Amino acid sequence: MLVAAGLVTLALAVRQVHKLKAELREVEAKAGQVADELAALPPEMDPALGSGARHVISVEILNLFELAHKESVFTRPLTALTPRLLRDVVHRRIIARVRESLDDQGVRADVRLHRAP
């Protein structure tokens, strides 16, 4: 009897978790739509920018995999198998190159990677 009550409680808890996950997906989708309509900044950048005198230059790499393929012939199979890992490696290399280039030109900069939703 006690096992049956435990199983029922577990089933109800799992059902509630699934409902909450679905509700969270809906809220995230609505928040994304509102942010797009307002042309809002990504949440990770918003507090850093504010409305003060500080300016931020944002760059989105549009040909990430093409750059990876230029680096090595082994990246083509990796693109299909592990695109996220390959993306992270390419981003790290680009960030290092940007830092080095800016440093060579005497520019003091904080170069960071922000993940967009």
Which residue is it, tokens 């850093």?
48
d(CA 87, CA 28): 24
CA 51, 52, 55, 56 torsion-angle sign? negative
- pLDDT above 70 for 93: yes
pLDDT at position 9: 83
pTM for the whole thing? Answer: 0.50
117 and 74 together in one domain: yes
Q: Is residue 34 part of a domain?
A: yes
20-24, 69-73, 104-108: which has the minimum mean pLDDT?
A: 69-73
Q: Is residue 49 part of a domain?
A: no
Give pLDDT tens digits for 4-49: 877 888 888 888 888 888 888 888 888 777 766 656 556 555 555 5
26 and 61 together in one domain: no
* Domains identified in the chain, total number: 2
Taking CA atoms, 67 is separated from 8, 20, 55, 72, 83, in Å, by 54, 40, 28, 9, 13
pLDDT, mean of residues 68-90: 79
60 and 32 together in one domain: no
Q: Is residue 89 part of a domain?
A: yes
71 and 97 together in one domain: yes
116 and 81 together in one domain: yes
pLDDT at position 67: 83
Q: How many residues does the chain have?
A: 117
pLDDT at position 110: 86
115 and 79 together in one domain: yes
pLDDT, mean of residues 61-85: 80
31 and 68 together in one domain: no
- Asked if 90 and 62 touch (Cβ cutoff 8 Å), the reply is no
d(CA 113, CA 9): 44
114 and 61 together in one domain: yes
Q: Which domain holds residue 91?
A: 55-117
Q: With cut-offs at 50, 70 and 90, classify the pLDDT of residue 105.
A: very high
**Comparing 87 with 40, which gets the higher pLDDT?**
87
